[in-house]
Structure 1
């Protein structure tokens, strides 16, 4: 009995999209997570399967599929985290000033 696998997800990139993603993958100041998403997209567009990408980048297949879905839903903007994600600032400016003095 074999486990069912999700349907293959393949994206197509225009030449301009591929060039933009390539430039992002090399740019300074871009978070590692974003660069991995960019590489994932370019590999998928080149014909790599979800499993091959996951193994190559040492990620879970779910992470690869999630990246492909982010691209499908949000395009380039989908590569970045939505506003409001992560920990919230707990310190106020007065707190920081008090510590500095």
Structure 2
């Protein structure tokens, strides 16, 4: 059986944790971690805290250890895992360079151009969403008589 984790809180830390625990804007997990730390400071063990809060014992211990290592910063959620984004700023700059010319582009054509330049394949829907985020809008391309173009 692991040794109980001893947590001692200053009055300021206790007040900060109490504020976090009762603030409805703070995410639920952060409020629960603040409550766990306050209970541990009152002498509760990790298994008892886990039963009280409906957590796994390992989760309660991990949260308390994070508090001991990082303090208040340890209560916040970490960055979610996942693959790093494939889209880069260079791709955005290349898109803007392509669109600054006179040629009419479609999302599938832009996806092909990106693949040719960066060797990464994107779905045309992804390219479309990036274009919308950059402020570009779709417009129907059509043949227009030369006279119409000159009148504008």
Shared fold (TM-score, shorter chain, > 0.5): yes
Residues 31 and 86 from structure 1, CA distance in 2 versus in 1: closer, same or farther, beyond 3 angstroms? farther
| Matched residue, 1:18 | 14
Q: CA deviation at 1:94?
A: 4.9
Which structure has more RCO (C-alpha within 8 Å, separation ≥ 6)? 1
Contact 2:30/2:77 (8 A) holds in 1: no
Task: Provide the C-alpha distance between the structure 1 equivalents of 2:81 and 2:18, rounded to a whole number of angstroms.
Answer: 27
| Matched residue, 1:85 | 80
Q: Which runs of 5+ in 2 are unaligned?
A: 88-125, 139-152
Task: Provide the C-alpha distance between the structure 2 equivalents of 1:19 and 1:40, rounded to a whole number of angstroms.
Answer: 14
Residue 95, structure 1, aligned to residue 109, structure 2: no
Count of residues in correspondence between the two structures: 95
User: TM-score with structure 2 length normalisation?
Assistant: 0.55
The structure with the larger Rg is 2
Which 4+ runs in 1 deviate beyond 6 A? 88-93
